[in-house]
Amino acid sequence: MTMKVHHTLLLTGAAGGIGIALRERLKANCDVLRLSDRVDMGPAQAGEEMVLADLSDAAQVSTMVQGCQAIVHMGGMATEGAWDTLLQANIVGVYNLYEAARQHGVKRVIFASSNHVTGFYRQNETITPAHPARPDSLYGVSKAFGEDLSRMYFDRYGIETACLRIGSSFAEPKDRRMLASWLSFDDLHRLITACLTTPVLGHSIIFGISDNAVAWYDNSSVRTIGYRPQDSSDVFRDAIYARTPEPDLSDPTVQYQGGGFLMAGIPMTAHKNGA
């Protein structure tokens, strides 16, 4: 398969956990990989460029985007947090990114959305990208904003976006919930590669998960872009069951897909209404 369809590819959030995992892998997808973050990313290696940029600063974001043909946007706030921080990183930041993409003629964006856009569905429900958003946190709301903003930039300006509702992308699943939500780094790279190379991406919402036996998502639409996960959380199942306690089924973090995000951040009692 041809992987290299863009000359200069921008990776935002390059200093984060996912960014570090993608840094080596994405070199196969471009001639020049431009790395960006607001903190130090270490020295540039062969085939890399670096731009320090704060997503909340429109001028810095414009410089970051200029000259790129596609963007893998993993930057921003990756967990629940203070509203002002989420506002700057995930709302102002994603607006600045799309405005820069429009102004500089970038036509394709891979956007790190999150399973927390739909975290208030229950763990025994199967959902598709067509289900309404049910964010479990302010973080989830901020990612839902990014999905809607990217939709508008597609409808108005034809900028194609894959909104990847990433489950839990770590080297290994860490707990029982992640047996359903895990996305290996190699499968994440496969998914991004499929999104970068498919001839027609349009505006797509895709659940970013590996080929796990337990799944909360009907992800069949990924076949249209050619993503076939090759990893599975199943090989970690026995070890995780052995080291973690029996789940308390009355606990909202066990009942709902968003897990611990249900109880993070602003005080939460309304889960009783979310049945």
Specify the 3-state DSSP secondary structure of 12. strand
CA distance 124 to 102: 40
Q: Quickly tell me which residue has 């796990």 as its tokens.
A: 212
CA distance 210 to 151: 25
Q: Is 115 in the site for ligand 15L (CB under 6 A)?
A: yes
275: tokens are: 């049945």
Q: Quickly tell me which residue has 């080596």 as its tokens.
A: 24
Give bridge partners of residue 30 from the DSSP assignment.
Answer: 6
User: Binding segment for ligand 15L among 44-52, 112-120, 221-229, 246-254 (CB under 6 A)?
Assistant: 112-120
Of these, 24, 31, 79, 230, which contacts ligand 15L (CB under 6 A)? 79
Q: Quickly tell me which residue has 């997503």 as its tokens.
A: 55
Residues 177-196 that bind ligand 15L (CB under 6 A): 181
Active site residue 139: yes
Q: Is 123 in the site for ligand 15L (CB under 6 A)?
A: no
Give bridge partners of residue 49 from the DSSP assignment.
Answer: 34
Q: How far is the CB of 205 from ligand 15L (least distance, A)?
A: 15
CA distance 125 to 83: 29
Q: Is 168 in the site for ligand 15L (CB under 6 A)?
A: yes
Q: What sections of 158-207 are H helices per DSSP?
A: 178-181, 185-197
> How far are the Cα atoms of 104, 138, 139, 162, 270 from residue 83, in angstroms, in the given order?
30, 7, 9, 25, 19
Amino acid 21 reads: A
User: Binding segment for ligand 15L among 30-38, 91-99, 111-119, 144-152 (CB under 6 A)?
Assistant: 111-119
Residues 49-78 that bind ligand 15L (CB under 6 A): 78
User: Binding segment for ligand 15L among 113-121, 153-161, 196-204, 244-252 (CB under 6 A)?
Assistant: 113-121
Give bridge partners of residue 127 from the DSSP assignment.
Answer: 217
Q: How far is the CB of 7 from ligand 15L (least distance, A)?
A: 29
Q: How far is the CB of 137 from ligand 15L (least distance, A)?
A: 9
Specify the 3-state DSSP secondary structure of 32. strand
For ligand 15L, the closer CB: 53 or 164? 164
Q: Is 114 in the site for ligand 15L (CB under 6 A)?
A: yes
Q: Is 137 in the site for ligand 15L (CB under 6 A)?
A: no
Catalytic residue chosen out of the listed positions 139, 153, 217, 256:
139
Q: Is 233 in the site for ligand 15L (CB under 6 A)?
A: no
For ligand 15L, the closer CB: 28 or 239? 239
In the complex, which residues of this chain contact ligand 15L (CB under 6 A)?
Answer: 78-79, 114-116, 168, 181, 259
